[in-house]
Chains A and B, each alone.
Chain A
Amino acid sequence: MSFLEYAPAPESTAILNLKSEYGLFIDGEFVDGSGEVFDTISPATEEVIARIAHADASDVDRAVAAARRAYDGTWSRMSGSDRGKYLFRIARLVQERSRELAVAESLDNGKPIRETRDVDVPLVAAWFFYYAGWADKLEYAGLGPNPRSLGVAAQVIPWNFPLLMLAWKIAPALAAGNTVVIKPAETTSLTAMLFAEILQQAELPAGVVNIVTGPGPTGQALVTHGDVNKVAFTGSTGVGRMIARQVAGTSKKLTLELGGKAANIVFDDAAIDQAVEGIVNGIFFNQGHVCCAGSRLLVQENVHDEVVDRLKHRLSTLRLGDPLDKNTDIGAINSAAQLERIRTLSDTGENEGAERWQLDCTVPDKGFWFRPTIFTRVSAAHTIAREEIFGPVLSVLTFRTPDEAIAKANNTPYGLSAGIWTEKASRMLAVADRLKAGVVWANTFNKFDPASPFGGYKESGYGREGGRQGLGAYLESAGWEAPAAIMESAESASSAPAKRGGRAKTTKKAVAK
């Protein structure tokens, strides 16, 4: 038995008290869906965990109607401090049931219990705690005078951080005074259902949060519904484009948090051991199912071999296997479809001339698994350097000068995140200035916090989640009064009689959203 072999240390599932079937959560109650019920499985074993209701357009309609009633009748009339107290209650209940949520998330998503226990669920609680405090302080947020809620928010979330993405969406929406209809991803609805139980324990007024489960068309019915005022989506850039089209021409406010192809830049003066830890955390955290994953490693040429060697050595200590085992570093790929995509793109990488290295480890017989993979000799034109793989696959490229690193890092339609590793603070700041990315991690990677705005440039979407910027995504303001003297002159400029043709009205508040 080598030092790397550990006795199994599985987290017990006895803490779970799952139902065999979960309905939709509409108007404070679990109700049947109109579509065909579907299974949610453990991607580590392919065993069925529970059966999930499938919401069709009529169910979405009921959910939106419930959210509208709750908005008009309860939530928009409630004081900010009471809204805040409900959110605090939710935060506390999440903390109290944190182990149960962590186990359920690990089981349903395939991610290691170490991550759900130490990252996902604590952040869920933190998110509700942070936004709870905003609920009665909206006018202090600096988002314009008299900030107002928008109404009913339609929210569609991905499968990579099921409960955490739910928290990112629901907490600011509720703090700002909106009601919510949210659709979890098809493969990861389980913890949203446990969250619905928490809402019942918190005695959140019926209809304030409604959860509709189902496949893509359920989400489409939700975002295209005529009675929603706000659409928030996290997921692929392809679907994000479709939603942007569907929302075009409407008054719905839209925020999109989409894909990424982040560069993680390692300069030759970096603390290499720390950088290697950061690279591993950047791309192998959550099996690489992270939109902001550091999937392109840009290493300064003179330290390339050293970094890659140390990286391979570090990877060889990672343990892949049962997500519920407390020693597991790499869990299961979330679905067969995602595994297929990762395989296809990796094969393309090899076919296009990149050199593949994979962790030498045994893979369980059942379930969906992909061994941590590094591609070296990758060029900027390779598919694996351009397309989001959303799996544990790292592409290594090199650079010689900081300018080249910046040019390569920005050479992508995405712009969600980036990493910089250098011991020289002045260079770190200068490079950070020039990276076209919404989040830049310097000598760290994949850090998240409710106080810290998160979101992308370019085709990684628009709007921010986290911080007061994240609150702003769920509020509107009448806007500050425009400078009076300018408005007066503007008025006079259009008040003189025209000889012919239309007369323009210069509106006081002509600012479009």
Chain B
Amino acid sequence: MSRLTVPKTYKLYIGGKFPRSESGRTYEVTTPAGEFVANAALASRKDARDAVVAARAAVSGWAGATAYNRGQVIYRIAELLEGRRAQFIDEISRTEGVTAAAASAQVDAAIDVWVWYAGWADKYAQVVGNGNPVSGPYFNLSVPEPTGVVGAIAPQARVGTSLLGLAAVVAPIIVSGNTVVVVPSQSAPLSAISLAEVLATSDVPGGVINVLTGSPAEMAPWLASHADVNALDLAGAGDIDWVELQLSAAETLKRVLTPVNGVPAPALERITAFTETKTVWHTKSMR
């Protein structure tokens, strides 16, 4: 006797909570063959603005946490993902239309990306910062700091990116202490929302990662023009008018990473793209 299943309602993830879109809109998530899988929330401009407010509110706590603590919190994401492999493999294979083996490989890669970046939390500043031998009696040190709130478009390719692409974009943004508003894969957003459920039960403070399912073409302009967003990661914006986004971002002099093909490879440069070098001079004196 077959049991009637209980399908999940997939919602947004903003400020540590799971609201529906304030617009009340949803869209159909299907298999590549077009079969219905689930409805996902179709985020609106208002949702984006709410997410930026949540992200801004979370910056001081997250950036102010010790690097060791951020590293552990991010590592914990990997641990929890490992424990829920089956769910992610199922969602990826249904929405991307790939084999369980391919979906499993993607989960592996996503977990390893989180682990890789977790380890950078208390090291990147040592690698890219420096003491400066200035000509005078000054203690002078340059250290990188998070830039603030980052808007991100995760990779959108139909295959091989829905969970991995999200990790490859979000992890380097948050490891230094930034918070993020991310638009995940539009075609395969289920694993992103399930990841949000992992985040909600991990130690990532609410508002550090905000997930807006829906249309990158609709959401990205709101993030690009928002005066309280400091930077944009357009990794997955290759198929939309990203030059227009860059033009819009120029109005508030946002830092912008331009689109990449596929999933961005793990790289220190993705961390430093969203950091600012702060140089502090302090007078040395015996008196």
Interface residues of A (CB under 8 A from B): 126, 142, 144, 237, 240-241, 244-245, 248-249, 256, 258, 413, 415, 425, 428-429, 432, 435, 437-444, 447, 449, 451-455, 457-459, 461-462, 464, 467-469, 479-480, 482-483, 485-487, 489-490, 492-513
Which 8 A/B pairs are nearest by Cβ-Cβ distance?
A: A494-B160, A504-B157, A496-B102, A493-B106, A249-B243, A244-B250, A489-B109, A492-B105
Which residues of chain A are within 8 angstroms of B142 by Cβ–Cβ distance? 452-453, 467, 469
A451, B132: Cβ atoms closer than 8 Å: yes
B105, A442: Cβ atoms closer than 8 Å: no
- Beyond contacts A449-B140, A493-B102, A497-B98: 16 other A-B pairs, Cβ-Cβ < 8 A, are A240-B253, A244-B249, A244-B253, A429-B280, A438-B279, A482-B265, A487-B265, A490-B106, A494-B159, A496-B99, A498-B96, A499-B31, A507-B260, A510-B260, A511-B269, A512-B264
> How many Å lie between the Cα of A337 and that of B113 in the bound state?
55
B91 to chain A, nearest CB (A): 14
Which residues of chain B are within 8 angstroms of A490 by Cβ–Cβ distance? 105-106, 109, 160, 164, 263
B237 to chain A, nearest CB (A): 11
Which residues of chain A are within 8 angstroms of B266 by Cβ–Cβ distance? 482-483, 486
> How many Å lie between the Cα of A486 and that of B112 in the bound state?
6
A442, B158: Cβ atoms closer than 8 Å: no
B278, A258: Cβ atoms closer than 8 Å: no
Chain B's closest residue to A144 (CB) is B269
B279 to chain A, nearest CB (A): 5
Interface residues of B (CB under 8 A from A): 31-34, 96-99, 101-103, 105-106, 108-109, 112-113, 116, 127-128, 130, 132-136, 138, 140, 142, 147, 155, 157-161, 164, 187, 230, 235, 242-243, 246-247, 249-253, 255, 257-270, 276-283
> How many Å lie between the Cα of A506 and that of B113 in the bound state?
14
B260, A447: Cβ atoms closer than 8 Å: no
A444, B109: Cβ atoms closer than 8 Å: no
A494, B250: Cβ atoms closer than 8 Å: no
Q: Give the contacting residue for B158; candidates A449, A461, A501; CB below 8 A.
A: A501
B158, A453: Cβ atoms closer than 8 Å: no
> How many Å lie between the Cα of A240 and that of B138 in the bound state?
31
Which residues of chain A are within 8 angstroms of B251 by Cβ–Cβ distance? 241
B264 to chain A, nearest CB (A): 5
Chain B's closest residue to A432 (CB) is B280
B156 to chain A, nearest CB (A): 9
A to B CB contacts below 8 Å, 22 in the list: A245-B247, A245-B250, A248-B247, A249-B246, A432-B278, A439-B278, A447-B136, A451-B132, A452-B134, A452-B140, A480-B267, A483-B112, A490-B106, A493-B160, A494-B159, A495-B160, A496-B159, A501-B187, A504-B263, A507-B265, A512-B258, A512-B264
Q: A498-B97, A511-B264 are in contact. Are A248 and B243 (CB under 8 A)?
A: yes
A449, B134: Cβ atoms closer than 8 Å: yes
> How many Å lie between the Cα of A494 and that of B102 in the bound state?
7
B136, A507: Cβ atoms closer than 8 Å: no
> How many Å lie between the Cα of A126 and that of B276 in the bound state?
25
Chain B's closest residue to A502 (CB) is B158
B169 to chain A, nearest CB (A): 11
B279, A454: Cβ atoms closer than 8 Å: yes
A128 to chain B, nearest CB (A): 14
B279, A492: Cβ atoms closer than 8 Å: no
B129 to chain A, nearest CB (A): 9
> How many Å lie between the Cα of A444 and that of B137 in the bound state?
11
Q: A258-B253, A479-B267 are in contact. Are A489 and B106 (CB under 8 A)?
A: yes
A454 to chain B, nearest CB (A): 7
Q: A447-B138, A489-B109, A496-B99 are in contact. Are A452 and B276 (CB under 8 A)?
A: no
Chain B's closest residue to A493 (CB) is B106
> How many Å lie between the Cα of A462 and that of B250 in the bound state?
11
> How many Å lie between the Cα of A451 and that of B141 in the bound state?
10
Which residues of chain B are within 8 angstroms of A432 by Cβ–Cβ distance? 278, 280
Which residues of chain A are within 8 angstroms of B268 by Cβ–Cβ distance? 480
> How many Å lie between the Cα of A256 and that of B16 in the bound state?
36
